[in-house]
Amino acid sequence: MKVSLVWSSPKPERTIAVAMRRCFSTKTIEEIEAELEQKGVEYWRYLLTKALQDKSLDVLEHFTLSLLAEGMTDADVGRLIRGFPYMRATGLGGGSWLVSLNARTLVELWREPEGKPFAAAIVSELDGRQVCPVFNQLAFGDRTNAG
């Protein structure tokens, strides 16, 4: 199985932080974004840590990803979609699939044995491209054995 990133939400950790601040702030979106830029990545890390600790995973749904998955059979994909219905897959032929999911589903995949290998391949791809280093560190911890 090979997974390549096609697209992800811009500044994923900040996007999650925007959703979190939206719940607790009366500010406009521009003011929230300016506050998040000014406070920087350590503040985003603080908010993300809180979301994960409180199990407020809904905010992760605003970080979305599209991937090219290769070397997967119809049965492989069927099993994943049945277990994780918020993930979307479109067959491109020859064992290739366009797959889209959000970060909440990625966390849920990671936590279930049947989803873990696919999640690990995605996390490894995100690591390689430095898409969301803070999120990966907080959500998936030590990934030396992630496969």
Partner 1 sequence: MRVKLLYNTDFEALKRVFSEKGAAFDPSALLDHVVYMFEIEDCSRVTTHQLVRHRAASYDQESQRFSAATREGVVTPPSIQTNEAAYKAYDEALKVVYAAYEKMVAAGVPKEDARYVLPSAIKTKLVMTVSARSLMHVVWQRTALQAQWEIRDLVNAMLNLAREATPELWGKVIER
Binding region for partner 1 (CB under 8 A): 6-7, 9-10, 15, 18-20, 22-26, 28-29, 58-59, 61-62, 64, 66, 68, 88, 90-94, 96, 98, 100, 102
How far, in Å, CA of 61 to CA of 140, rounded? 16
Cβ 116 to partner 1, closest distance in Å? 23
Least Å distance between CB 15 and partner 1?
7
Q: At what angle do helices 12-24 and 41-53 cross, to 10 degrees?
A: 70
Q: Which is nearer to partner 1, 56 or 147 (CB)?
A: 56
Compute, in degrees rounded to 10, the torsion defined by CA atoms 127, 85, 14, 33.
Answer: 160
Q: Which is nearer to partner 1, 83 or 147 (CB)?
A: 83
Distance of closest approach, residue 136 Cβ to partner 1, in angstroms: 20
Which residues lie below 8 Å from residue 142, measured CB to CB, with a gap of 6+?
A: none
For the CB of residue 132, give the shortest distance to partner 1 in the complex, in Å: 14
Nearer to partner 1, 8 or 136 (CB): 8
